[in-house]
Amino acid sequence: MIRAIRGATTADENTRESIFSAVQELMARIMDANSLDTADIADIIFTATPDITAVFPAAAVRGMGITDVPLLDMAAPDVDGALKMCIRVMIHINTEFGNDQLRHIYLKGARSLRPDLAKKISVAIDGPAGAGKSSVAKRAAKDMGYVYIDTGAMYRTVGVYGLINDIDVINKPEDIVSELDRIRIDISYEGGMQKMYLNGADVSERIREQDASMAASAVATVREVRARLVELQREMAKKGGVVMDGRDIGSVVLPDAELKIYLTASVYERAMRRYREYIEKNMECDFESLRQEVEARDKNDMTRAESPLVQTEDAVLLDTSEMNFEEAVAAVEEFIRKAEEYSAV
């Protein structure tokens, strides 16, 4: 039976090299995903948008050593608002498989053509305080159509409960345990923002104050607190399509996440970023005490007995010390795209 497999990709530039690499990646992925052998292929038809002029896409197939398959290049219609630099392919194959068993592959910019085929994965982002995890994760999630879950906000909410109720969480964090049944945390997403409610009161801003950071770090050392919050986090991630950030996401909360990123930056750089944030908000601060606080939280988070912050073996390292925000977002999005493509096979 002759059946057809579809695919598409985009070239980064209108150069022979860029077009060859895009087409060869697309062909390799289609052949791999469908366990195709050259002998199964009846013919291959490419279309290219009018901005692809450097080379015929089919030439890239010859470049892969596929010489005995009939190939054809055609011009895609010049449609208003169409995806730029797009190369589409239709491969006719001889197969016993039904249409529902064939894998169509859309890569790079062309993923947007078939959102129904994109597999959403679970993304775990861990790293020390102030590395930019939340802002980077939030933006990447928005761009890629994922739900962002900030787990630090949950520990902060428990910490704030302690502060409001005069529990000495810094020196005796375990005192929070007897209070756990009186702490109700609700989370809602309003305009893409994660809002935190503590026993019905909106504490989304209160949890960002400086004293809430240390209180969170302190209560996060308590096993019972972690057990409660981890359960909540797993429940929220059940359906997939989440970018979750924290300290133990890859190691404990979502050990099977398809993508784990350890996002970090130097102590100096992290303290400097916090310093700039405070200055921008006209909040009082002192660089040296911020630096010491970053160090203290690192120590707390990395050396505690319960689920310490670690880079798991299967996590990719992303050091953003020398990156600006946009560069860090781009790097995370690229990791997500690759992991989606990989797990779709």
Give the separation between CA 216 and CA 157, rounded to whole angstroms.
7
Give 5 or 163: the residue with its C-beta nearer to ligand DC. 163
Strand pairing of 185-190 and 193-198? antiparallel
Amino acid identity of residue 342, one-letter, is Y
Residue selected from 10, 47, 157, 217 as contacting ligand DC according to rule CB under 6 A: 217
Q: Which is nearer to ligand DC, 38 or 303 (CB)?
A: 303
* Distance between CA atoms of residues 150 and 147, nearest Å: 10
Q: Which is nearer to ligand DC, 44 or 253 (CB)?
A: 253
Which stretches of the chain are DSSP H helices? 16-33, 57-62, 133-144, 152-164, 210-219, 223-237, 267-280, 287-303, 325-344
Write down the least CB distance from residue 31 to ligand DC, Å.
Answer: 40
**Per CB under 6 A, which region of 113-121, 179-187, 212-220, 322-330 contacts ligand DC?**
212-220
Cβ proximity to ligand DC, 301 vs 340, nearer residue? 301
How many CB atoms within 10 Å of residue 35? 10
- 27/220 with CB nearer ligand DC: 220
* Closest CB to ligand DC among residues 7, 152: 152
Give me the least distance between CB of 196 and ligand DC, in Å please.
Answer: 11
Binding mask 47-76 toward ligand DC (x if CB under 6 A, else -) reads ------------------------------
Instruction: Kindly tell me which of 205 and 334 has the beta carbon lying closer to ligand DC.
Output: 205
* Closest to ligand DC by CB, 10 or 251: 251
Q: How far is the CB of 127 from ligand DC (least distance, A)?
A: 9
Which of these segments, 1-9, 53-61, 112-120, 211-219, binds ligand DC (CB under 6 A)?
A: 211-219
- CA dihedral sign of residues 77, 78, 82, 85: positive
Q: Give residue 92's Cα distance to chain centre.
A: 35
CB of 161 to ligand DC, least distance (A): 14
Instruction: Give min distance, CB of 343 to ligand DC, in A.
Output: 23
Which sign does the torsion angle of CA 201, 205, 208, 211 carry?
negative
| Separation between Cα atoms, residue 14 and residue 95, nearest integer Å | 34
Cα–Cα dist 303/53, whole Å = 57
Per CB under 6 A, contacts with ligand DC among 122-181 are 129, 151-152, 155-156
Minimum distance from residue 70 beta carbon to ligand DC (Å) = 55
Compose the 240-279 pattern: x for residues touching ligand DC by CB under 6 A, - for all others: ------xxxx------------------------------
Q: How far is the CB of 135 from ligand DC (least distance, A)?
A: 11
Cβ contacts of residue 246 below 8 Å, gap of 6+? Answer: 125, 126, 150, 151, 152, 233, 253
**Which of these segments, 183-191, 210-218, 313-321, 333-341, binds ligand DC (CB under 6 A)?**
210-218
Are the C-beta atoms of 106 and 114 separated by less than 8 Å?
yes
Closest CB to ligand DC among residues 24, 194: 194
Q: CB of 136: closest distance to ligand DC in angstroms?
A: 12
Q: CA angle at residue 120 from 115 to 126, to 5 degrees?
A: 140
Q: Does 301 bind ligand DC (CB under 6 A)?
A: yes
Specify burial of residue 192 (Cβ count, 10 A radius: 0-12, 13-18, 19+): exposed
The Cα–Cα gap between 34 and 25 comes to 14
CA-wise closest residue to 158 among 147, 174, 135, 134:
174
Say how many residues touch ligand DC, by CB under 6 A: 15
Residue ranges that bind ligand DC, judged by CB under 6 A: 129, 151-152, 155-156, 213, 216-217, 220, 246-249, 297, 301
